[in-house]
Chains A and B, each alone.
Chain A
């Protein structure tokens, strides 16, 4: 009996590069999943493009010099513009900024420079909670606390907007203050500066651009706010310059009313108002992002 070292039938090896059915199925599923993700990505970009396109194409017709310089006529009539809303928005957002930004920055200074322990943690936590408070609830609060005693008006709307802005200013300023290097504070103290001098002359100027960025985002949020103003400023057909006592209008309130009424000229103005509002908000957002991008590079 002779034994052969090589078996009669050599074992079969799968050639390199050939894949079994199971692996092929896994790969195919993975490829399919990649396509699904690509479709989802495209689908998510679609609304933004659609909104920009519809707002601009519908709004461009009624937009123009007259739109910016004339108050809103009755909805049935052509022409006219949103001057009453533009004045109201600038007026109220301006006051709200004056109220919210200093308070918010100081609160952030407290959190970063002084805040230790549970109290600072509580403030931080509830500031975050406050960013999630529904705007209509803020409106109800200002109505219940102030409007009922006094009257609808510019300052009431501004207070409501300021409350909406406050948590955004606090949290964004806090992040910016944290970025100021500890060495700078130590150097300032080493030169003999008191803590308040260090904060006002070293820390705040260093964090300045970042704080401006955060505040701009808060301003953008306030400019686009409607629900708060519905309950505090109420709306007006005339240009209102009174600080208080007279109901005030805003771009957002005019858009809201223009969208709900049945006449075409009013709707066209609402689209133009939306275009203007998005222009303002995007300008603020882009500028803020541009500043941040330049600083973090």
Chain B
């Protein structure tokens, strides 16, 4: 080979190319890598396809509108046909209420924590504080469920719920949200534990977005005599607002899809109630709570609930990604 190349004119590009089978190595490697990359899309596509195929008969049997708006859920026991009643509104309501509660509590906290870490914390404490809050994301959700069920709900949340119930129930319209009786496992309990679970997600992104606010803007505000409060609310929060919204949506998406912790804390009934202290069920929670005892027809209905949940979470996630996308990739959120 070596002597051979010496005799050919160097200008011919073919002289540098191998003619052996190893010339297929690069295209082959490229094809393997491409297949791996495409497999992500294939898996996602399969996930949607398989579950939708199973869910379609349920939607046909129950009617699409009735499936999402009826609150009558009676599990059937048939292997071959549909006999039950499958209206998933109670679970949709539970999912939405617990998630909104979680965001309502976690978002102000996350903004406050991000502001504190970015603007007020001593330099040496910034990283440890951020790590410590984000460590909450590493705790498995079943541990949150166990902790919430056996410790946090009975000792901390129940007294809070009773207090809110006593003080706010007499308020005219708002009071209906805080009406008794108070259940230890309820929308409120699940919402509070969810808030702890999504706090690190919202904080991580909000903190990074706030750190990207141009220093000049902050200094200019101080130079004009603005106080810390004015700089934080009028410069930092305003500039990083789109990122905060994206972070919130990501947190919301996580809360909507959270399964085990909610399944253990939300109450596990098949009904819904306007009161936050009512023990209901969420979509994901209901699937986890009843799957193991479900007859084949009910399993299909549960898959249909799963499809509904998937659609909701994907919409929220896509919106969130589009918002965070513009700001650029935020390091570490894949790990959350």
Contacts and interface: CB of A to CB of B under 8 A. Distances in A.
Interface in B164-221: 196, 199, 203
Interface stretch (A1-9, A63-71, A72-80, A138-146): A138-146
A172 B147 contact: no
Q: How large is the interface on B (under 10, 10 to 19, 20 to 34, 35 or more residues)?
A: 35 or more
Contact of B143 (A36, A104, A214, A278): A278
A41 B113 contact: yes
Contacts of A34: 120, 228-229
Contacts, number: 271
B326 to A, nearest CB: 13
B75 interface: no
A132 to B, nearest CB: 4
B141 A224 contact: yes
Contacts of A58: 150-151
B43 A199 contact: no
A104 B36 CA distance: 7
Interface stretch (B56-64, B272-280, B303-311): B303-311
Contacts of B161: none
Nearest to B263: A227
For chain A, what secondary structure do more than half of its interface residues adopt (helix, strand, loop), or is it mixed?
helix
B288 interface: yes
Contacts of B310: 133-134, 137
A127 B40 contact: yes
B37 interface: yes
A14 interface: no
A196 B28 CA distance: 9
Contacts of A55: 143, 147
B151 A130 contact: no
A106 B54 contact: no
Given A44-B133, A54-B151, A144-B54, A29 B229 contact: yes
Interface in B12-67: 22, 25-26, 28-30, 32-41, 43-44, 46-47, 50-51, 53-54
Contact of B113 (A40, A111, A259): A40
A278 B151 contact: no
Contacts of A259: 142, 145-146, 149-150, 264
A145 B303 CA distance: 12
A48 B151 contact: no
Nearest to A192: B16
B159 interface: no
B135 A44 contact: no
B92 to A, nearest CB: 14
Given A34-B228, A114-B33, A172-B335, A126 B140 contact: no
Contact of A126 (B40, B108, B121, B316): B40
Contacts of B299: 143
Interface string A104-127: 101101110111000010110111
A124 B292 CA distance: 35
Given A167-B334, A271-B146, 8 more contacts: A37-B112, A111-B37, A132-B254, A163-B47, A168-B335, A170-B40, A227-B141, A230-B260
14 contacts: A26-B230, A30-B227, A37-B120, A38-B120, A41-B113, A48-B132, A48-B136, A130-B43, A131-B334, A136-B259, A144-B53, A226-B141, A227-B260, A259-B145
Interface of B: 22, 25-26, 28-30, 32-41, 43-44, 46-47, 50-51, 53-54, 108-109, 112-113, 115-117, 120-121, 129, 131-133, 135-136, 138-147, 149-152, 196, 199, 203, 227-230, 232, 250, 253-254, 256-260, 263-264, 284, 287-288, 291-292, 299, 302-303, 306, 309-310, 313-314, 316-318, 320-321, 329, 331, 334-335
Interface of A: 26-27, 29-30, 33-34, 36-38, 40-41, 43-45, 47-48, 50-51, 54-55, 58, 103-104, 106-107, 109-111, 113-115, 120, 122-123, 125-138, 140-141, 143-145, 163, 166-168, 170-172, 175, 194-196, 199, 214, 217, 220, 223-227, 230-231, 234, 252, 255-256, 258-260, 267, 270-271, 274, 277-278, 281-282, 285, 289
